Chain A
Amino acid sequence: VSVSRTVLREQVRELLLERILQHHYQPGERLVETRIATELGVSQAPVREALRELEQLRFVESAPFRGSWVREVSDEELAEVYPIRAALEEVAARAAAERLGGAVGPLEREIAAMAKAKDTHDQVDHDVRFHRLIVEASGNARLLEIWSGLQVEARTAITAVRTGLDRKEVAARHKPIVEALRRGDPDAAGREIRSHVEDFGRMFLERRANDS
């Protein structure tokens, strides 16, 4: 898979996700691969892959000979991932605190990029990269594999749109994690990343309550 192909698939997935979340596509509405490909001026492959990823996220359902359609997803379902990420990233940050040896430069660069992000997409990109760097730094390949399967990119995009937080605030919320990692303090690093992720889970559901 070439880089541009990956990017294309991600762009298609993000666009479809945006349309589902903004109810441009209604629950039950069919998502026809060929029609979407024609509309977007891309081949069918990235559309098919994007639909498959959205199915893993449970935003889309499919059946043989019936194609794909939009599934109604509750906010409670969307919120299920936060405690899971909190638990996994706590494990990651504890290990990373011991393995990084205080070298937090790359993490600080992601925070700076988050604060200066030109748009939500860019902000989400650096946010996810920050968390991925910590999971990678754990040196636990199994953990990275499982974390990657959670589709953190797409979910973070939802959270960013939903919470609508100022990007400087989002960036600042990552700083206590970096401070703990710089000190090489596993307990603090684990605690900080856990509450960081849990806070976003809470804000996600609260924002829903405010909207309705």
Chain B
Amino acid sequence: LSEGRTVRAALEALAAGVAVEHLRGDVRPLATEVDAMRAAAARDDLHEFITHDVGFHRLVVEASGNRTLADLWEALHVELRTTITLIRWPGDLDAVAEGHVPVLEALAAGDGDAAATEMRRHIESWTSERRLP
């Protein structure tokens, strides 16, 4: 697992675990991002896909209510890194979009532990599937 991704997985797992308290099961904005990812995948529109992929993660981080965490996450430049990754290792965008669903479901169920676990798995597995350094 790459250095940056390990850090990102830890920070976003933290965010997802706390976000359930603030979301209170209302995950509509997150579901909208997943739908937008699916639509962009269908059109093979990489730029649009990344916008909504990063949008999904940003919403989770913001829902943590921890501004220090949100500032730190922005400093990771997730958008840029996602773009680089998807350009260097192009893959099945549909599968990437669907990879967000377990996180969404755990957040909708209001299960903080599950949301944290699923977020960590989502970020880490995505790497191992692509055999990234």
**A in complex with B:** yes
Residues of chain B with a CB closer than 8 A to A149's CB: 72, 75
* B-facing residues in A101-158 (Cβ within 8 Å): 140-143, 146, 149-150
Chain B interface residue number, banded: 10 to 19
Closest A residue to B66 using CB positions? A80
Query: Once the chains bind, are A81 and B68 in contact (CB under 8 Å)?
Result: yes
Query: Once the chains bind, are A83 and B66 in contact (CB under 8 Å)?
Result: yes
Residues of chain B with a CB closer than 8 A to A91's CB: 6-7, 10
Query: Once the chains bind, are A83 and B14 in contact (CB under 8 Å)?
Result: yes
Residues of chain B with a CB closer than 8 A to A142's CB: 3-4, 7
Let me know if B13 is at the binding interface, CB within 8 A: yes
Query: Once the chains bind, are B7 and A77 in contact (CB under 8 Å)?
Result: no
- Measured CA separation A185–B59 after assembly (Å): 35
Let me know if A88 is at the binding interface, CB within 8 A: yes
Residues of chain A with a CB closer than 8 A to B3's CB: 140-143
Query: Once the chains bind, are B66 and A88 in contact (CB under 8 Å)?
Result: no
Let me know if A42 is at the binding interface, CB within 8 A: no
Let me know if B69 is at the binding interface, CB within 8 A: yes
Q: Write the nearest CB–CB distance from B112 to chain A, whole angstroms.
A: 12
**What is the number of residues of chain A that contact chain B, defined by CB distance less than 8 Å?**
17
Residues of chain B with a CB closer than 8 A to A80's CB: 66-69
Let me know if B11 is at the binding interface, CB within 8 A: yes
Query: Once the chains bind, are A143 and B68 in contact (CB under 8 Å)?
Result: no
Let me know if B34 is at the binding interface, CB within 8 A: no
Query: Once the chains bind, are A88 and B10 in contact (CB under 8 Å)?
Result: yes
Let me know if B103 is at the binding interface, CB within 8 A: no
Let me know if B50 is at the binding interface, CB within 8 A: no
Q: Which of B11, B75, B76 contacts A87 (CB 8 A)?
A: B11
- Measured CA separation A141–B14 after assembly (Å): 21
Closest A residue to B14 using CB positions? A87
* B-facing residues in A42-80 (Cβ within 8 Å): 77, 80
Let me know if A192 is at the binding interface, CB within 8 A: no
Q: Write the nearest CB–CB distance from B64 to chain A, whole angstroms.
A: 9
- Measured CA separation A84–B18 after assembly (Å): 12
Tell me whether A87 and B10 are in contact in the complex, defined as CB-CB below 8 angstroms, given that A141-B3, A149-B75 are known contacts: yes
Query: Once the chains bind, are A140 and B6 in contact (CB under 8 Å)?
Result: yes
* A-facing residues in B24-77 (Cβ within 8 Å): 66-69, 72, 75-76
Q: List 8 A-B contacts (CB under 8 A).
A: A83-B18, A84-B14, A84-B66, A87-B13, A142-B4, A143-B3, A143-B7, A146-B72
List residues of A whose CB falls within 8 A of some B CB.
77, 80-81, 83-84, 86-88, 90-91, 140-143, 146, 149-150
List residues of B whose CB falls within 8 A of some A CB.
3-4, 6-7, 10-11, 13-14, 18, 66-69, 72, 75-76
* Extra A-B contacts (18), CB below 8 Å, given A80-B67, A142-B4: A80-B68, A80-B69, A83-B18, A83-B66, A84-B14, A84-B66, A87-B10, A87-B13, A88-B7, A88-B11, A91-B10, A140-B3, A140-B6, A143-B7, A146-B7, A146-B72, A146-B76, A149-B72
